[in-house]
Structure 1
Amino acid sequence: MREPPYLPFLSGPASLAPGLKPIAPENLIAPDTEAEVWLPDKRRIMRDRRAEVFFSNLPDALLAEASALVTDHLPPSEEDWPTPLEAAAARVSDDLCLLQRGADGLWRLEAASLVAPTFWRLADKAGQPLGGLHDPVPDANLGLVSRIARMFDGLRPGQVLERFNWTVQAGDARFTPDAAPLKALAAATPDDSALSVLHLRVERQTISKLAGSGLLLFTIRIAVDPLEAALSSPERIAAFRAAWDGTDPALAAYKGWPHYERLVRAALRCLS
């Protein structure tokens, strides 16, 4: 098992707080920790299930601006894809979403290549404003949405913000528009197999603003690793237990954690 690239539970319980931190612009994508393990499957899904994982209300010229920002650190490619956004998404492990600010001041999802959704369907969110994207997240009220929108408004081209989100799941699937199969697998797994089934799923998200169009580029990189690999020391086990127990029950319920509570407890007993 590899060393997981991200361990956000070391920073404390899961939270709805934006938690955005500035990073160097050259780290928008690089280093791509997941390309080797994910890109072949990602490209296959992009071609075979395009209607489920891609949509755009934007002209190719705007998609090309985003594509250039994502791939300018990579050598040229002759691979053929229907749109510039898909051409970029096929070369990096990250999913790529573009938000546009409307005349009403609302940021809406207007284009996306989304191949590793964490339990949501692109068709349900296409064209939705920021508030719709966060529904039904608990406490994602107008105050939170307005605060994030102001942050988006104030972002300047050249700035890159990063945040992490995490959960646990049964199995190692990344294309997960529906959580039901994972919950069923968890329910069918006996306690003594918890460590072999449970995985840590981390979203590395970045936000940046395109200089020409003013669009927001939202990248989502999914890393999935066996929970056992993430909990490889007593200090990590203690931090994970504290983060799991300390997460607000409403947020834990939204994340589906009650479906994994039994297996998480069994895994922690095994590791302790």
Structure 2
Amino acid sequence: PYRPWKNGPYHVTMGLKQTDVENWIELDETYLEKYHLKKRLYQENRDEVLAYLPGCDGGLFEALELVKDTLVRRYPTMFRLQSPHIVENLVTGDIWDLRPEASTWKTHHPLEVMGLLATEDFFLLSNNPKTGQTTLRAGGVCFPAGFKIEERMGLSLWEIHAGKVPQYESKLAKSMDRFFERLKVESAVSRFNYAIDDSSELFHRHPHHNLTLEQLENPPKLEDLHLRVERQTLQRLPKTRALLFTIRTYVTPIFEVTNDKEVAAALRTSVGSFSEDVSKYKN
């Protein structure tokens, strides 16, 4: 897993880096395990993992084509094309006809197919012409970090983050709005987020921020703690101009991370430098 902290004080920043457009999707040895978990969630918790507003089909189908093209190029032993718009998953045996007019969509949703092809969670954002703000239009989220996707539909960046993310209003809001508005098609960026959690659960819809005094007085055992790392990417789709945001979640037992003394020391330094609001948020 990634180790997205520095051996020094923690600062609230966007932390964006340019990323290779070929590397925005990451598959690993846990692919099949995550696939089966997602498939079960789409069947049993469909309304909790898929949310979308009317009018975003164009962006979703464009995103789906991008996912398909990337996977076929990057992972040719796992995916192959049967025709320009029909992709075969050589690992699961799934065959998907991705044409908008295909019968696929009588029983599946584009967000669902994206989620079964890749391990990432996918979000589609676009500009609201009435307000001029970037708003969330669709999301397929099997691995949320303490939020409910259906409650965020149609919200702006401000409405999603203000009052929740520490120092968002003072340090992040203006720069985030400006960046989302100006992101060019040929650019793709990534960032990391991390927290220490008392659960290895990936489907984690309930917030863990601002724990009660009782919870703080009965802390979990060290062996029950897990490092939850999110690799997030953002890029603009060329045709619809919508923004495609992804989150790839990694959950690792804390002892596996801290076996390396240098890594453990750096993590301790970073966590120890959290301001009070950041500590409560990541609690």
Cα separation, 2, equivalents of 1:50 and 1:221 = 20
Cα separation, 2, equivalents of 1:37 and 1:115 = 13
Q: Do residues 131 (structure 1) and 158 (structure 2) align?
A: yes
Which of the residues 259, 266, 273 maps onto 1:232?
259
Contact 1:60 1:83 in 2 (8 A): no
Matched with 1:60 is 57
Cα separation, 1, equivalents of 2:12 and 2:240 = 29
The SS at the match of 1:107 is: strand
Query: Could you say which structure has the higher helix fraction?
Result: 1
The SS at the match of 1:90 is: helix
Deviates more, 1:13-22 or 1:115-124: 13-22
Q: Show the 5 A alignment for 1:1-272.
A: 5-10=1-6, 12-32=8-28, 34-57=30-53, 58-72=55-69, 73-74=71-72, 75=79, 76-77=87-88, 78-79=95-96, 80=104, 82-103=108-129, 104-135=131-162, 136-141=164-169, 144-179=172-207, 187=215, 194-256=221-283
Measured after TM superposition, the shift of residue 158 of structure 1 is: 2.6
The SS at the match of 1:19 is: coil
Measured after TM superposition, the shift of residue 30 of structure 1 is: 3.2
Contact 2:58 2:240 in 1 (8 A): no
Cα separation, 2, equivalents of 1:106 and 1:188 = 38
1:29-86 per-residue CA deviation (whole Å, 9 max, x = no partner) reads 0345652442211221122111111111234332110111123123213255522222
Cα separation, 2, equivalents of 1:89 and 1:215 = 18
Aligned residue identity for 1:120: F
The SS at the match of 2:42 is: helix
Aligned residue identity for 1:82: H
Aligned residue identity for 2:262: E
Measured after TM superposition, the shift of residue 142 of structure 1 is: 6.5
For the structure 1 residues 14 and 42, does the alpha-carbon distance in structure 2 shift closer, same or farther, using more than 3 Å as the test? farther
TM score, norm. by length of structure 2? 0.80
Contact 1:98 1:215 in 2 (8 A): yes
The SS at the match of 2:114 is: helix
Aligned residue identity for 1:122: I
1:4-45 per-residue CA deviation (whole Å, 9 max, x = no partner) reads x21112465554311000011000103456524422112211
Aligned residue identity for 2:52: S
For the structure 1 residues 144 and 56, does the alpha-carbon distance in structure 2 shift closer, same or farther, using more than 3 Å as the test? same
1:136-184 per-residue CA deviation (whole Å, 9 max, x = no partner) reads 222211762221111112211131100000001112101111146xx79
Matched with 1:259 is none
Contact 2:126 2:241 in 1 (8 A): yes
Contact 1:63 1:83 in 2 (8 A): no
The SS at the match of 1:109 is: strand
TM score, norm. by length of structure 1? 0.83
Count of residue pairs the alignment pairs up? 249
Cα separation, 1, equivalents of 2:127 and 2:138 = 13
Q: Flag structure 2 segments of 5+ consecutive residues without an equivalent.
A: 73-78, 80-86, 89-94, 97-103
Q: CA RMSD in A?
A: 2.5
Cα separation, 2, equivalents of 1:128 and 1:203 = 21
* Identity level (%): 29
For the structure 1 residues 45 and 87, does the alpha-carbon distance in structure 2 shift closer, same or farther, using more than 3 Å as the test? same
Deviates more, 1:75-84 or 1:242-251: 75-84
Matched with 2:99 is none
